[in-house]
Amino acid sequence: MSRRAAAEHRLAWLLCAPAVIAMLVVTAWPMLYAVWLSLFRYDLRFPDQRQFVGLDNYLSVLGSETWWQALFNTLLITVGSVSVELVLGFVFALVMHRALIGRRLVRASLLVPYGIITVVAAMSWRFAFDPTTGFVNALLGLDGAWLAERWSAFFVIIQTEIWKTTPFMALLLLAGLTLVPEDLLRAARVDGANALQRFFRITLPLMRPVIMVALLFRTLDAFRIFDTVFVQTRGAQGTDSVSIVGYNTLIARLNLGLGSAVSVLIFVCVLAIAALYIRGFGIDLSRREDA
């Protein structure tokens, strides 16, 4: 290696060091610490009774109905919101792509849900569906206590997630739409392909990489759902998400051992989802690094 190359390596590592150290110290190390804590019986209310228990915490989490219900709930919210977001995001992206008048207005208004604090969005929808303060019941001629029952609460939660994050999906898809060559679509139109055929045979296949990346990010993001559930139900009526269970165990009940086992299991789930997307659907993330 030449001296110049060595100097370049040194400079590069010097520049990267602060960020890399920060990421290692504040994420990698706490994650390892969580794995370590999960092997102990460790309740902050009784710190003297700290004791190594091996995999007992995992066994009690995996043996509890709370965990499996929360996992089911989280997957339900994830699949429910991300699938609707994909369709709705596509519609919004097409509107922005095709609308001649008001395109900027549409884009600007879509940035509003993106920019709003999630807690605020969740509050607004909670008040809207509330039987005392809300307008939804009056509008629909119903008198339901939406957040007091499990399935209608899920509807409100998923609906809030969709409202808040569809813009992100739509903006990514819009960027993907602009990569589809207009000539190709025009040629297909001349050859007699109708709008649906053009969309399913040309636009969709060409956008596959963008769609997969958007889906991966949104799925992982939706799986972490915490704010909306916390504000709207606090996990009552059987609407716990796994993050809520983790928070309740760790912070509300101060049970670090058991809570860390929950944390590690959530991390494993996230890894599994990422692996499923990357292996199963063949997203090539590394390709994008050399762009």
Partner 1 sequence: MSAAGANGGRVERLFWGVGSAVVVIYALLPVAWIVSLSLKRSADLGDNRFLPRVVSLEHYATVFRDPQFSAALWNSIGIAAISTLAAVLLGAFTAYAVVRLEFPGRRLILAGALAIAMFPPISIVGPLFNTWRTLGLYDTWAGLILPYMTFTLPLAIWTLAAFFREVPWDLDKAARVDGATAFQAFVHVIAPLAAPGVFSAAILVFMFAWNDFLFAASLTSTDQARTVPAAIAFFTGSSRFEQPTGSVAAASVLVTVPVIIVVLLFQRRIVAGLTAGAVKG
The residues in 51-90 that bind partner 1, with binding defined as CB under 8 A, are: none
Rounded Cα gap, residues 188 and 201, in angstroms:
10
Q: Is 50 in the site for partner 1 (CB under 8 A)?
A: no
Q: Is 33 in the site for partner 1 (CB under 8 A)?
A: yes
Q: Is 270 in the site for partner 1 (CB under 8 A)?
A: yes
Q: Is 263 in the site for partner 1 (CB under 8 A)?
A: yes
* DSSP assignments along 28-90, one per residue: IHHHHHHHHHTTEE-BTTSGGG-EE-TTHHHHHHHT-HHHHHHHHHHHHHHHHHHHHHHHHHH
- Buried b / exposed e along 224-262 (16+ C-beta atoms within 10 A): ebebbbbbbbebeebbbbbbbbbbbbbeeeebbbbbbbb
Minimum separation from the CB atom of position 248 to partner 1 (A): 11
Residue of 214, 215, 222, 283 interacting with partner 1 (CB under 8 A): 214
Q: Taking the CA atoms of 256, 234, 77 and 119 in sequence, report the sign of the dihedral they define.
A: negative
Residue of 31, 55, 62, 184 interacting with partner 1 (CB under 8 A): 31
Tokens of 140: 């629909």
Instruction: Tell me which residues in 147-176 interact with partner 1 (CB under 8 A).
Output: 163, 167-168, 171-172, 174-176
Output DSSP code: residue 146: G
Q: Which is nearer to partner 1, 110 or 147 (CB)?
A: 110
Minimum separation from the CB atom of position 132 to partner 1 (A): 5
Residue of 39, 157, 231, 283 interacting with partner 1 (CB under 8 A): 231
Q: Is 227 in the site for partner 1 (CB under 8 A)?
A: yes
Q: Is 46 in the site for partner 1 (CB under 8 A)?
A: no
